[in-house]
A and B are shown apart, each in its own frame.
Chain A
Amino acid sequence: MNARPGTAEIHDRLDRVWSPPRGIWRFLTAVNHRVVGLRFMVTAFVFLLLGGLEALAMRLQLAQPLLGILSPEAFNQAFTMHGSTMMFLFAVPFLEGLAIYLVPLMIGAREMAFPRLNAFGYWVYLIAGVSLYGAYLFGYAPDSGWYNYVPLTGIGFRPGVNIDFWVTMITFLEVSALVAAVEIIVTVMKHRAPGMSLDRIPVFVWAILITSFMIVFAMPALMLTSLMLALDRMAGFHFFNHAAGGDPLLWQHLFWFFGHPDVYIMLLPAVGVVSTVIPVFCRRPLAGYTLVVVSALIIGILSFGVWVHHMYTVGFALVGLSFFAAASMLITIPSAIQIFAWIATIWQGKLHAIATPMLFSLGFIVLFILGGITGIMIAAVPFNWQVHDTYFIVAHFHYVLVGGVVLPIFAAIYFWFPKVTGRLLDEGLGRWHFWLFFGGFNISFFPMHIVGFEGMPRRVYTYHPGLGWDGLNLISTGGALVMGAAMVIFLWNLVVSWRVGPSAGHDPWGGNTLEWATTSPPQSYNFLLVPIVRGKDPLWSEPPPDAPPFQKRPGWLAELSEAPDLRRDQIITSPVTAEPLGRAIMPRPSLWPLWLALALTVSFLGAIATLALVPVGLALAFVALVGWHWPRDEPLDDESSGIEDTPGNPEPAGAPFGAREERRPDRWDANE
């Protein structure tokens, strides 16, 4: 047996295999999970800023009675685009991007299970988002709310293409969410590092895994109902036309069967973020790991049984409403378990100084509790009837979604920014960001509870003076401006720190999960050696908890030598105990994902112009799928086709489409 190669030699070999191409091809063909994940996050952040600007425009319009900053039509487009942006283009894609970036690192893998699917999901997301905003730019933005209720959105009430853009692009967008969910599930179940049994998966990864299963079951409802509305509008179908035997309430059922789980699809990853950040800063493992995971699972299941609480006022029998009220209130139990677990972790930990990620996590707990309390209130049918469609509802869901999702996203950015860039965000600016955002949020949204009690309906572009709403609306607008100032500081902090921020080192927080075991930013292959996991907190499994990176602590890692014969190898492990089963050869960069996304764009966007373009796009998509799946590697040595008259393997195609990988003589094998 030869001597084992040194660290530098292994690095050179792995880097040669895993490095992406340079130049424009890198942009068009990248499939690496970190590149794609970062693209998701940056794009989603841009949409967050756009959605925020729409919110500011609406708040300025509502600052005083009878203002004329936005026309009724412009206001309708603004609130529709604001809701659609925050729900579809920001929150879910950002968290998907975070998961795509972090999950392989946290489970000790080198890549996602299906890297090309990963890239395809991003292109679909980008095209759908840009198309929606392109329509907005030219005055064709959807204007009937992010929930797009029929019959208002039927062709009879909303002729023109505004709603068509929503229907086609949101359906297209969900393809992106679904492929991300599939690859996350397979990655977590098949590519965890040896030893990372189910009871050792990091809480963030558990949260993402549960979320992905929720996407699998929830998104088809939105796709189906959007497809039905598209057929109603574009091809003369009658699913929602009451006069022809259809039923508008079918839309609400299907939409909210997706819509309520969607809230938890956003919330659970945020819970995962907070459950990761708090233990690190409290210097102790998460209290009640199993309870937190089981609670997330219960929340995921229960969230599919509460959709009718969005429809209390449509006239269902009280017995049915009681069931959904009980189910809605039941969710508070697992949510409370999680909150108590965080409090217990803080209580028993050693919280010395509160860094910005921890600050946002604490802010999350406060706002999430407040949003949860109003959630219990509106789960009660009589109360819900009173405040339905008032600003109380606006206040409630912003406490849940901004407090429960946006704040943890900020915590995640401050926490993992050093991993992505190798630099720290400025702590001082971070504190300004937190306090202005937290304060501005409460100034803006707490008065909405009161103005809602006083009867102000949501979705109105203005109101008359003398109704008692003037002062509270002015305060809300002031709070929104403060939040805007906080975002300017945050943006400045991001840009400056990314360029000239202080070096973070590889593990600035003394983290407990595997992503902190590699360099910051990670190398092209993530991990030099495949880690073997020996505990829930792999980097803390041996004291001291704030020890330096893994190279100096060989105790927790054992070398699992790979054979880098210039194919991208990744370990496959068993789903429960994570025992090594085999190796998967991961694909190289490719243009096919972009081709497939563009082909489907021809179908989806083309349908708005003429349905004849749908089969054209599908034919192009078929070409892409064949090219995508056609193998270009030589068969491996241990294969036998079993066919006598095999005409030989086709010549591999060249880059950029192909995944040509040559077998080179410099194969390194530890056993040779």
Chain B
Amino acid sequence: MSPERVRPDHHAGRPDDADSLPRQLTGRRSPLIWGVVLLVLIEATLLCLWVVSYLYLRLGLEAWPPPGVAPPDLLPPAIGQILLLLSPLPVWMGLRAVREGRVGHFLRLLPLGMFLAAAYLGLKIREYAVKDHHWTIDAYGSLDWSMSGYAALHVIVVLLAGTVVWALALGGHVGTRRYTGVEALLIYWLFVALGSLLFFGVQYLVPIL
């Protein structure tokens, strides 16, 4: 067996200068971001399987929604959906501000994103408070309520996570070289916004097609 040689493209830096390696890595260099992306991948798989289950049950029936059930009203949920899709934008702008050293700017922008997400949640609660076709009636109701509940739960998670990150920033734990928490929040927030859009398409458009 002949010894293999180190390729010159490996560890191009000095091998004995680990002390000079940075301790604050961000973006794709950070293990935390990899972890969050994998979490999103897991949740996205579950979300896709939920959509497939919806379509599977829908294809098994001739009428959808079932006879006697009115198709969902599109306007209020569409407004809510637009608000949720806009909500990561202030967080993204806040992240840029943090990178430029303006954490105070971030502290003002994050609540705006949270307000937009909370507005989506409020519209969702208002929509379901008056619904009389409950989950206990049939599979259509079960899918409708469970998917909305799942989406709403994720928005609650985003709001809670946003509150924690805001408190961290206020406590001086977010800075020009320490913002992976903000990046992680933004990635998850984007997933929640886009995932709910997928659910919106299935829940509100499939019944009227």
Which A residues have a C-beta under 8 Å from some C-beta of B? Answer: 113-114, 117, 178, 181-183, 185-186, 189-191, 194-195, 197, 216-217, 219-221, 223-224, 228, 231-232, 235-239, 241, 244-247, 250, 253-254, 257, 284-285, 530, 532, 534-537, 540-543, 545, 558-563, 569, 571-572, 577-585, 622, 626, 629-631, 635-636, 638-650, 669-671
Contact = CB atoms under 8 A, between A and B. Distances in A.
B15 to A, nearest CB: 5
Most B Cβ at <10 Å: residue of A181, A183, A237: A237
Contact of B18 (A583, A629, A635): A583
B139 interface: yes
B172 A186 contact: no
Given A237-B146, A578-B10, A671 B19 contact: yes
Nearest to A544: B1
Given A220-B42, A247-B57, A579-B13, 14 more contacts: A117-B35, A185-B34, A185-B38, A186-B31, A220-B45, A220-B49, A231-B135, A247-B60, A563-B18, A629-B181, A639-B176, A642-B103, A642-B176, A649-B173
Nearest to B28: A575
Closest 4 CB pairs of A and B: A535-B4, A245-B139, A642-B101, A646-B172
Given A244-B138, A560-B16, A644-B104, A577 B10 contact: yes
Given A534-B6, A545-B1, A237 B142 contact: yes
Contacts of B23: 569, 582-585, 636, 638
Given A530-B18, A582-B22, A182 B53 contact: no
B19 A285 contact: no
Given A221-B49, A284-B1, A580 B142 contact: no
A404 to B, nearest CB: 26
B160 to A, nearest CB: 6
B133 interface: no
Nearest to B43: A220
Given A186-B34, A577-B10, A583 B56 contact: no
Given A532-B15, A561-B19, A245 B53 contact: no
B1 A285 contact: yes
B139 A241 contact: yes
B198 interface: no
B135 A641 contact: no
Given A563-B19, A581-B25, A640 B42 contact: no
B68 interface: no
A239 B35 CA distance: 32
Interface of B: 1, 3-7, 9-13, 15-25, 29, 31, 34-35, 38-39, 41-43, 45-46, 49-50, 53, 56-57, 60-61, 66, 98, 101-104, 107, 135-143, 146, 160, 164, 168-178, 181
Given A245-B61, A246-B139, A643-B169, A224 B103 contact: no
Contacts of A113: 31, 34-35
Chain A binding surface SS class: loop
A434 B160 CA distance: 54
A647 to B, nearest CB: 7
B176 to A, nearest CB: 5
A221 B49 CA distance: 7
A582 B21 contact: yes
A9 to B, nearest CB: 16
Contacts of A647: 170-172
A286 to B, nearest CB: 12
B142 A536 contact: no
A558 B16 CA distance: 8
A636 B172 contact: no
B98 A246 contact: no
A269 B160 CA distance: 38
Contacts of A238: 135-139, 141-142
Given A217-B45, A532-B11, A580-B13, A642 B175 contact: yes
Contacts of A558: 15-16
A62 to B, nearest CB: 38
Contact of B42 (A183, A216, A244, A543): A216
B53 A641 contact: no
Contact of B5 (A534, A543, A561, A638): A534
B64 to A, nearest CB: 9
Nearest to B145: A237
19 contacts: A217-B45, A219-B42, A220-B45, A224-B50, A228-B53, A238-B141, A254-B53, A559-B16, A560-B15, A580-B21, A581-B22, A581-B29, A583-B22, A585-B23, A630-B168, A643-B174, A644-B104, A647-B170, A669-B19
A285 B170 CA distance: 55
A561 B14 CA distance: 11
Contact of B175 (A114, A626, A635): A635
Given A182-B38, A194-B10, A535-B4, A641 B174 contact: yes
Contacts of B104: 642-645
Contact of B4 (A247, A536, A635): A536
Given A532-B6, A649-B171, A581 B21 contact: yes
Contacts of B41: 216-217
A639 B103 contact: no
Contacts of B107: 643
Nearest to A195: B10
Contacts of A220: 42-43, 45-46, 49
Contacts of A635: 172-173, 175, 178
Nearest to A645: B104
A535 B3 contact: yes
A560 B18 contact: yes
Given A220-B42, A238-B142, A583-B21, A195 B176 contact: no
Contact of B177 (A182, A285, A580, A640): A640
A245 B57 contact: yes
Contact of B1 (A219, A543, A560): A543
B57 to A, nearest CB: 6
Contacts of B103: 641-643
A331 B41 CA distance: 25
Contacts of A223: 46
Most B Cβ at <10 Å: residue of A113, A224, A631: A224
A37 B139 CA distance: 43
B34 A189 contact: yes
Contacts of A577: 9-10
A236 B136 contact: yes
A580 B57 contact: no
A183 B139 contact: no
Contact of A237 (B10, B45, B136): B136
B25 A582 contact: yes
B46 A224 contact: yes
A217 B152 CA distance: 23
Contacts of B164: 626, 629
A579 B3 contact: no
Contacts of B170: 643, 647
Given A558-B16, A648-B172, A584 B31 contact: yes
Contact of A191 (B12, B31, B160): B31
